[in-house]
């Protein structure tokens, strides 16, 4: 079975109502045959993005979700059912910035993925090693552990997620993994997914730009990209979608 191909923008903590309106006006028309497009926007802009993207094929996404599934006293948290209520289709979980700055563990990331799935959302599960881990020869081990936690928590439902391999040393640094480096880790992730590996899209993320997108996307186990900085510039994001 062929795998879906995706380019998903991760705006991170960027945007304003005015800037979003002009960016989304360009993003609306980007999906094309063979290239699915999503944008993961800050919570406060979900309603705006939902309205602008309403009649488009662009998937609306959020950047994080609570692992708590029942409503209650969790100040500041946003549940998966709230996101579904807000028209969200997909949500990033386990981004390295969440793991690094908010102490998110493999177990919490897996719980967030489960909460997302239970509410009918597609979790975009991010994994990736730090530079120190790569230099110590531990890239495959670290990524294997991160993927393994999600597989253990979700069981067969892991077939419903999107995976994103984002080497921490390549995020926002201008330093991209080579197509070969991406491919070998993607292949190991696909193997770790077991039977689901045949259908789960695995996106690459980390300094993807118009100039390097084609060579990365041409690798057999790379099914698209999770795009940070370049997703904030309409022309750059469009060129990356075109590369897919």
Task: By CB under 6 A, name the binding residues for ligand PGA.
Answer: 10, 166, 171-172, 205-208, 226-230
Rounded to an integer, what distance in angstroms lies between the CA atom of residue 243 and that of residue 3? 17
Q: Of residues 129, 133, 166, 186, which has the active-site annotation?
A: 166
Q: Of residues 95, 104, 133, 186, which has the active-site annotation?
A: 95
Least separation in angstroms between CB 217 and ligand PGA: 14
Radius of gyration of the chain (CA): 17
82's tokens: 């709230």
Which CB, 31 or 206, lies closer to ligand PGA?
A: 206
DSSP designation for 66: -
Tokens 């488009």 correspond to what residue?
A: 56
CA–CA distance from 129 to each of 15, 29, 121, 208, 230 (Å)? 28, 34, 26, 17, 22
Which CB, 51 or 100, lies closer to ligand PGA?
A: 100
Residue 225 is inside which H or E element, if any?
strand 224-227
53's tokens: 């993207």
Which CB, 104 or 166, lies closer to ligand PGA?
A: 166
- Widest pairwise Cα distance in the chain: 48
Least separation in angstroms between CB 127 and ligand PGA: 12
Least separation in angstroms between CB 159 and ligand PGA: 23
Total count of residues recorded for the chain: 244
Q: Is 166 a catalytic residue?
A: yes
Least separation in angstroms between CB 208 and ligand PGA: 5
Which CB, 79 or 207, lies closer to ligand PGA?
A: 207
Q: What residues are labeled active site?
A: 95, 166
């Amino acid at each position: 079975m062929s795998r879906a191909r995706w380019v998903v923008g991760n705006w991170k903590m960027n945007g304003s109502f005015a800037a979003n309106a002009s960016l989304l006006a360009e993003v609306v028309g980007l999906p094309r045959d063979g290239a699915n497009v999503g944008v993961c926007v800050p919570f406060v802009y979900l309603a705006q993005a939902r309205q602008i993207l309403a009649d488009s094929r662009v998937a609306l996404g959020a950047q994080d979700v609570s692992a708590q599934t029942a409503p209650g006293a969790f100040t500041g948290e946003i549940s998966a059912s709230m996101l579904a209520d807000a028209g969200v289709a997909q949500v990033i979980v386990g981004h390295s910035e969440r793991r690094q700055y908010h102490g998110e563990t493999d177990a919490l990331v897996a719980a967030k993925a489960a909460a997302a799935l239970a509410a009918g959302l597609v979790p975009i599960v991010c994994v990736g090693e730090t530079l120190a881990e790569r230099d110590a020869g531990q890239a495959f081990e670290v990524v294997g552990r991160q993927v393994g936690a999600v597989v253990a928590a979700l069981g067969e439902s892991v077939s419903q997620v999107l995976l994103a391999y984002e080497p921490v040393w390549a995020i926002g640094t201008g330093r991209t993994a080579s197509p070969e480096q991406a491919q070998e880790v993607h292949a190991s992730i696909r193997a770790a997914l077991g039977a689901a590996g045949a259908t789960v899209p695995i996106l690459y993320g980390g300094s993807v730009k118009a100039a390097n997108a084609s060579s990365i996307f041409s690798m057999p186990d790379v099914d698209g990209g999770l795009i940070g900085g370049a997703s904030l510039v309409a022309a750059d994001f469009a060129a990356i979608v075109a590369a897919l």
